[in-house]
């Protein structure tokens, strides 16, 4: 990822687009024109499912490592989804059946040195939209998670993965699991911060499915906390707002 980002501008220019529905897109903040200020990072986005990207559209030097990482992360996500499903008292396959592991999106972030890090952030506070995110970060640090009112450092450790519960997991589990609010500080070090995240999201272009709290979890004592919606509304809401805190779950709250 470092090699990709540090290529001359002309090598990266063919990927510049704000159209996140493309197979591959390279841009700075996806919500640049909706947010109050720019964040200090660039992001390479690769859509890996349900319509897999042509692997050859991700050019060297990062094609093979990214695609390999995506496969490995998916094995982790599949296992975790099974365990979380059992944690809800449902079968191992249940959660996977809801959104599947088909909506797979890889985001590779590059946070260059920021000369005035106190004036902006690398990535504003937010929760991830899907079921789960599996994230690998290099050793620079800067990721923080909100614990109550306090931002706590998620310090990198070699070989460690960070897993975020997403908004959809909060909704379908009727708040048994809560999505994690997190942010990345602007990078004050000369060493770039690099992270690669795999998002497991609802399938696009499938408006025959209604998402909402899983019926099997509901009872008169545990009524649904969220209304049902289709995926077009879910993505429409996510992409038409700036990245901000946990507003996606708030939108669907009853």
Ligand X SMILES: O=C(O)CCC(=O)C(=O)O
Nearer to ligand X, 25 or 143 (CB): 143
Q: What are the structure tokens assigned to 56, written together?
A: 């050859």
Q: 14 phi and psi, to 5 degrees?
A: -60, -20
Partner from ligand X, Fe ion, none binding residue 25, C-beta < 5-8 Å depending on class: none
Q: What are the structure tokens assigned to 83, written together?
A: 């365990």
Query: What is the C-alpha to C-alpha distance for residues 195 and 198, in angstroms, rounded to an integer?
Result: 10
CB of 164 to ligand X, least distance (A): 7
Nearer to ligand X, 74 or 212 (CB): 74
- Whether 179 contacts 163, CB under 8 Å: no
Nearer to ligand X, 109 or 204 (CB): 109
Q: Does 167 bind Fe ion (CB under 5 A)?
A: no
* Candidate list 128, 140, 192, 196; residue touching Fe ion; CB under 5 A: 128
Nearer to ligand X, 5 or 195 (CB): 195
- Comparing every residue's Cβ against Fe ion, the nearest one is 128
Nearer to Fe ion, 42 or 128 (CB): 128
Q: Which stretch, 45-53, 89-97, 98-106, 125-133, contacts Fe ion (CB under 5 A)? A: 125-133
User: Which chain residues interact with ligand X by CB under 6 A?
Assistant: 107, 109, 123, 128, 135, 137, 143, 182, 184, 195, 197
Nearer to ligand X, 127 or 173 (CB): 127
Identify the bridge partners of residue 73 per DSSP, sorted by sequence position.
none
CB of 196 to ligand X, least distance (A): 8
Q: 196 phi and psi, to 5 degrees?
A: -130, 120
**Strand arrangement, sheet containing 121-126:** 121-126, 182-185, 143-147, 150-153
- Collect all residues with Cβ–Cβ distance below 8 Å to 99 and sequence separation of at least 6: 130, 131, 168, 172, 200, 201, 202, 203, 211
Partner from Fe ion, ligand X, none binding residue 109, C-beta < 5-8 Å depending on class: ligand X
Q: Which stretch, 59-67, 73-81, 122-130, 169-177, contacts Fe ion (CB under 5 A)? A: 122-130
Q: Which stretch, 28-36, 123-131, 140-148, 232-240, contacts Fe ion (CB under 5 A)? A: 123-131
Q: Which stretch, 44-52, 127-135, 143-151, 229-237, contacts Fe ion (CB under 5 A)? A: 127-135
- Contacting residues toward Fe ion, per CB under 5 A: 128
């Amino acid at each position: 990822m470092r090699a990709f980002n540090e290529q001359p501008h002309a090598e990266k220019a063919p990927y510049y687009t704000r159209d996140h529905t493309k197979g591959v897109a390279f841009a700075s903040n996806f919500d640049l024109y909706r947010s109050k200020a720019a964040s200090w990072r660039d992001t390479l986005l690769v859509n890996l499912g349900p319509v897999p990207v042509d692997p050859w559209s991700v050019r060297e030097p990062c094609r093979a490592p990214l695609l390999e990482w995506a496969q490995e992360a998916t094995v982790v996500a599949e296992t975790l989804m099974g365990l979380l499903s059992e944690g809800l008292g449902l079968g191992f396959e249940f959660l996977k059946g809801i959104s599947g592991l088909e909506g797979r999106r890889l985001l590779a972030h590059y946070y260059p040195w920021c000369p005035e890090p106190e004036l902006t952030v690398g990535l504003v506070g937010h929760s991830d939209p899907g079921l789960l995110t599996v994230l690998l970060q290099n050793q620079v640090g800067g990721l923080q998670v909100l614990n109550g009112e306090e931002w706590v450092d998620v310090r990198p450790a070699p070989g460690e993965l960070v897993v975020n519960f997403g908004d959809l997991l909060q909704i379908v589990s009727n708040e048994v699991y809560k999505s994690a609010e997190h942010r990345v500080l602007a990078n004050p070090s000369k060493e770039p911060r690099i992270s690669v995240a795999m998002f497991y999201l609802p399938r696009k272009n499938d408006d025959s499915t209604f998402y909402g709290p899983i019926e099997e979890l509901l009872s008169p004592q545990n009524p649904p906390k969220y209304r049902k919606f289709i995926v077009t509304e879910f993505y429409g809401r996510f992409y038409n707002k700036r990245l901000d805190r946990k507003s996606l779950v708030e939108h669907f709250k009853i």
